[in-house]
């Protein structure tokens, strides 16, 4: 039943196209006959125009029908003797030239229609191919972003492992303070006349120590937790201070002094706090590592924040380490290239990808035996002011 209906529909459409061709030729004939007296023989204009119109709007088949009907009409109505099928030898060139013109007009319009159809088909195929490729690229990009996020998380876990001793120190300090203040609290309460103000102060200090230990653990968990990046206003000075607290133990063991020079009016940036903390932590860890072999000068690590313009902030991490050969700088951000004895060469590439994903830039300046300075810039959150 559906095939029958489809065939019927196609037959009706074809019949309509041929009817349009007949109607166009009939119109040309009527106009030519009406204008024959004042203008001589206007069939040279109307019938080729009818053939062009029929081929253009109805197709090649109806166009050929228009050629046939127009040729018959010209021979019957406009070649003497009129309204007869007699063709005198002297009129053959006229009739032949008209027929040739009619056929050429039909062929030209048919060629134009085929060309247009081919171009439209090619355009549709190209659009479909572009849409398909775009969809594939979007899926590939999503997969790549997921892989980058997972790789960054693995790098953070590795970094936390390297900082295990520092983390232990940071947790043990507040826990030891909690125990000491709890003992003091118990001792004050054991007196015959307890000094409640001292008891309250010791209890407050114990609470503060426990809170600090909890914050250290929370920062570590946030670093290694799996999750998609979240963009929100980030106060970089606070991130720097938290990172300094986290790495302080490692710096102390390596006899490195940390100094912070923070712009008190630093505007917030829009980004993922955990990722930005990962970048700062990686740069500070690298700086400490670069100074472990320095013996002839102090080991100083300085981290500075500043607003370089109303729309941009810059963070700089400077060390007094061994520096780097200028020839190595172009390779420094390539995956798996490292100058550290136990490095895997992924910290800096991941850091750069994080900064670039935040519409920023990360670069390094270094002088052999004088130290290195890593800088990165980030755009200010829209609407924030210095």
d(CA 185, CA 196): 9
Same domain, 236 and 382: yes
With respect to residue 142, please indicate whether it lies within any of the assigned structural domains.
Answer: no
Alpha helices in 236-342 (DSSP H): 236-253, 273-290
**Cβ neighbourhood burial of 128 (10 Å; 0-12, 13-18, 19+):** exposed
Same domain, 38 and 116: yes
- pLDDT for residue 339: 61
From 202, 226, 250, give the residue that closes a domain.
Answer: 226
**Cβ neighbourhood burial of 343 (10 Å; 0-12, 13-18, 19+):** middle
Which DSSP string corresponds to 15-58?
A: HHHHHHHHHHHHHHHHHHHHTHHHHS-THHHHHHHHHHHHHHHH
Q: Mapping DSSP to helix (H, G, I), strand (E, B) and coil, where does residue 193 land?
A: coil
- Per-residue pLDDT of 262-313, as tens digits, reads 999 999 999 888 788 878 988 998 899 889 888 888 999 999 999 998 899 9
Q: How many domains does the chain have?
A: 3
With respect to residue 151, please indicate whether it lies within any of the assigned structural domains.
Answer: no
Supply the range of the domain harboring residue 332: 229-386
d(CA 369, CA 295): 11
Q: What mean pLDDT value characterizes the chain?
A: 77
With respect to residue 64, please indicate whether it lies within any of the assigned structural domains.
Answer: yes
Q: Mapping DSSP to helix (H, G, I), strand (E, B) and coil, where does residue 314 land?
A: strand
Question: Cβ neighbours of residue 221 under 8 Å, at least 6 residues apart?
Answer: none
With respect to residue 150, please indicate whether it lies within any of the assigned structural domains.
Answer: no
Same domain, 338 and 384: yes
Same domain, 246 and 346: yes
- pLDDT for residue 237: 95
Same domain, 363 and 241: yes
- pLDDT for residue 386: 43
With respect to residue 312, please indicate whether it lies within any of the assigned structural domains.
Answer: yes
- Per-residue pLDDT of 107-161, as tens digits, reads 777 777 777 778 888 888 888 888 888 888 888 777 776 766 666 666 666 655 5
Q: How far apart are the first and last CA of the chain?
A: 76
Same domain, 219 and 264: no
Query: Chunked in runs of 10, what are the mean pLDDT values of the chain (386 residues)?
Result: 66 79 80 67 67 74 78 75 72 68 70 76 84 83 70 64 55 65 77 77 74 65 59 92 83 90 93 84 87 89 93 94 81 67 66 86 88 93 59
Question: Cβ neighbours of residue 341 under 8 Å, at least 6 residues apart?
Answer: none
Same domain, 374 and 265: yes
From 104, 129, 154, give the residue that closes a domain.
Answer: 129
Same domain, 367 and 264: yes
> What CATH number corresponds to the domain at position 363?
3.30.565.10
Which DSSP string corresponds to 63-77?
A: HHHHHHHHHHHHHHH
DSSP type of residue 326: G
Same domain, 206 and 260: no
Integer angstrom CA distances of residue 131 from 126, 137, 246: 8, 10, 48
- Rounded to 5 degrees, what are φ and ψ at 262? -110, 135
Cis peptide before 43 (omega within 30 of 0): no
With respect to residue 184, please indicate whether it lies within any of the assigned structural domains.
Answer: yes
Same domain, 219 and 246: no
With respect to residue 134, please indicate whether it lies within any of the assigned structural domains.
Answer: no
Q: What is the pTM of this model?
A: 0.49
Same domain, 339 and 368: yes
Q: Return left, alpha or beta for 225; rule: phi > 0 is left, psi -120 to 50 is alpha, else beta.
A: beta
From 200, 226, 252, give the residue that closes a domain.
Answer: 226
With respect to residue 139, please indicate whether it lies within any of the assigned structural domains.
Answer: no
Same domain, 222 and 233: no
* Other Cβ atoms closer than 10 A to 52: 19
């Amino acid at each position: 039943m559906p095939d029958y209906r489809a065939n019927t529909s196609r037959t009706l459409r074809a019949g309509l196209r041929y009817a349009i061709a007949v109607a166009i030729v009939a119109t040309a004939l009527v106009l030519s006959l009406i204008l024959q007296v004042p203008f001589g023989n206007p069939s040279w204009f109307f019938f080729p125009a009818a053939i062009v119109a029929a081929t253009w709007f109805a197709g090649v088949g109806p166009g050929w029908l228009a050629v046939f009907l127009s040729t018959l009409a010209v021979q019957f109505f406009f070649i003497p003797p009129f309204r007869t099928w007699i063709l005198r030898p002297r009129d053959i060139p006229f009739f032949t030239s008209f027929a040739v013109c009619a056929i050429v007009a039909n062929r030209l319009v048919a060629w134009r229609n085929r060309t247009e159809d081919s171009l439209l088909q090619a355009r549709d195929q190209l659009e479909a191919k572009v849409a398909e490729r775009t969809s594939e690229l979007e899926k590939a990009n999503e997969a790549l972003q997921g892989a980058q996020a997972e790789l960054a998380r693995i790098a953070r876990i590795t970094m936390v492992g390297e900082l295990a001793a520092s983390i232990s120190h940071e947790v043990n300090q507040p826990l030891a303070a909690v125990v000491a203040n709890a003992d003091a609290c118990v001792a004050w309460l054991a007196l015959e006349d307890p000094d409640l103000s001292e008891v309250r102060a010791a209890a407050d200090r114990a609470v503060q120590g426990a809170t600090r230990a909890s914050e250290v653990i929370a920062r570590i968990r946030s670093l290694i937790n799996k999750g998609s990046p979240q963009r929100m206003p980030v106060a970089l000075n606070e991130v720097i201070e938290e990172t300094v607290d986290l790495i302080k133990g490692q710096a102390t063991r390596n006899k490195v002094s940390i100094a912070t020079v923070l712009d008190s009016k630093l505007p917030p940036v829009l980004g993922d706090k955990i990722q930005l903390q990962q970048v700062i932590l990686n740069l500070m860890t690298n700086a400490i590592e670069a100074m472990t072999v320095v013996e002839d000068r102090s080991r100083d690590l300085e981290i500075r924040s500043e607003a370089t313009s109303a729309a941009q902030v810059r963070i700089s991490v400077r060390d007094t380490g061994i520096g780097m050969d200028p020839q190595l700088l172009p390779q420094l951000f390539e995956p798996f290239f490292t100058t550290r004895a136990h490095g895997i060469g992924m910290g800096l590439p991941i850091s750069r990808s994080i900064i670039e994903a935040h519409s920023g830039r990360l670069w390094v300046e270094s002088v052999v035996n004088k130290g290195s300075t890593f800088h990165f810039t980030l755009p200010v959150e829209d609407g924030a002011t210095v």
